[in-house]
Amino acid sequence: MDMKKILLVLALIFGALNINAADFKTLTDMTGSEVKIPAKVEKIAALWHANNQIILVLGGMDKVVTTTDQISKNKWFARIYPRLTKLPATLNGNDIQIEELVKLAPDVVIVSNKNFQASLAKEGFSVVNALFKDYEDMRKSVLLTADVIGGNAPARAKELNDYLDKNIALVSAKTDKIPTDKRPKVLHIVNGSNLLKVDGTKSMIDTWIKYAGGTNAIQKEGNMFEITAEEILNANPDIIIVGGADNQKSVAKIYADPAFSGLKAVQNKKVFGNPKGVFSWDRYGAEAALQILWAAKTIQPEIFADIDVKAETKAFYKKFMNYDLSDAEFGYILNGLNPDGSK
């Protein structure tokens, strides 16, 4: 083989290698792991409940080929994005349907669980861990998810992060200087099924309580842990906020429970249900950006009388989910109900 032919063969080989390299990109996920994914992702397995709404807001749901059991049953999500009803759920509880996932052949699997990440990576999947536990990491996770989706998702991610930052700045400007002893003590109960399961410090919940001008009644680190009725009585919160679906039922349950009757929050009628739309506002969906405004108006109503939560929610749903929210539907979100008002 003469030199020209050798050079031509080498050029073809290196050209092929370069094309192949250009077909992939490497992302650093929220655990610091480097993950190689296709440069243009077409199929996403969205196996973290909360991240599904981030994908929706970033305009990437048409690429999702499978979701979780929790999301597949979510009536608000289906109202906004009807194709959801056709998507299989390959995460049921803590079980991933590996065989079904193999058949669907996603380009990327998004998870929040390190064990899922390790086991799926062993099966040959490209796995991105998008978990966040505070607002700082939420911004990074939103950008990471946008990088997976591609297209105009990064621009939408910037809009979402800018909206979050705007709300944090708006609220913090009025609450930053409130001393701890002047802040109401706020107890956050996860949901009405167990009134002793609460959220403590070093959590996203603790952060929005602080932004909103309160202080966490439970000065114990962590999320969704159980405490005793005695600990709640000792904490004696000024305000109680309870999350989950059908929150007014949970509020009534708290008022009716003799164990809570001596609490300042109960005696002063300061027990509130946390809004829940496409995702629970108090946790890790995109509506965490709205939570800051609602919490501020709930915890410090005199300071934040000018915040119009209904107008903000309607604008958010229109801008980020292209949905015209009615007044009635906004009321259902406040009470943790389905879009038709059912429980």
Confidence of residue 341 (pLDDT cuts 50, 70, 90): very high
Please state the rounded mean pLDDT for residues 46-59.
98
Model-level pTM?
Answer: 0.91
Report pLDDT for 1. 54
Strand partners, 225: 198
What is the pLDDT, as a whole number, of residue 268? Answer: 98
Does the pLDDT at position 333 exceed 80? yes
Q: How many other CB atoms are found less than 10 A from the CB of residue 206?
A: 23
Could you tell me the two tokens for 301?
């109503």
Report whether pLDDT(19) > 90: no
Cβ distance 99 to 59 under 8 Å? no
How do 89-92 and 95-96 pair as beta strands? antiparallel
Per-residue model confidence as pLDDT tens digits over 230-285:
999 999 999 999 999 999 999 999 999 999 999 999 999 999 999 999 999 999 99
Rounded-to-integer distance, Cα 208 and Cα 216, Å: 10
Please say if the pLDDT value at position 15 is more than 80. Answer: no
Question: Greatest CA separation found in the chain?
Answer: 94
What pLDDT does residue 13 have?
Answer: 53
pLDDT in tens, 67-118: 999 999 999 999 999 999 999 999 999 999 999 999 999 999 999 999 999 9
What HEC string does the chain produce? CCHHHHHHHHHHHHHHHHHHHHCEEEEECCCCCEEEEECCCCCEEECCHHHHHHHHHCCCHHHEEEEEHHHHCCHHHHHHCHHHHHCCEEEECCEECHHHHHHHCCCEEEECCHHHHHHHHHCCCCEEECCCCCHHHHHHHHHHHHHHHCCCHHHHHHHHHHHHHHHHHHHHHHHCCCCHHHCCEEEEECCCCCCCEECCECCHHHHHHHHCCCEECCCCECCCEECCHHHHHHHCCCEEEECCCCHHHHHHHHHHCHHHCCCHHHHCCCEEECCECCCECCCCCCCHHHHHHHHHHHHCCCCCCCCCHHHHHHHHHHHHHCCCCCHHHHHHHHCCCCCCCCC
CA atoms of 93 and 261, how far apart (whole Å): 35
Tell me the torsion sign for CA atoms 288, 277, 127, 190: positive
Instruction: State the Cα–Cα distance between residues 147 and 19, nearest whole angstrom.
Output: 20
pLDDT band at residue 17, thresholds of 50, 70 and 90?
A: very low
Percent of the chain's residues with pLDDT above 90: 93
What is the rounded distance in angstroms from the CA atom of residue 250 to the CA atom of residue 242? 7
Distance in angstroms between the alpha carbons of the first and the last residue of the chain:
77
User: Which residues are 241's β-sheet partners?
Assistant: 188, 272
Q: Which of 313, 296, 283 is nearest to 191 (CA)?
A: 283
What domains, with CATH codes, occur in the chain? 22-155 (3.40.50.1980), 177-334 (3.40.50.1980)
Q: In which residue are the tokens 């509020």 written? A: 251
Integer Cα distance of 254 and 267 in angstroms: 11
pLDDT of residue 18: 46
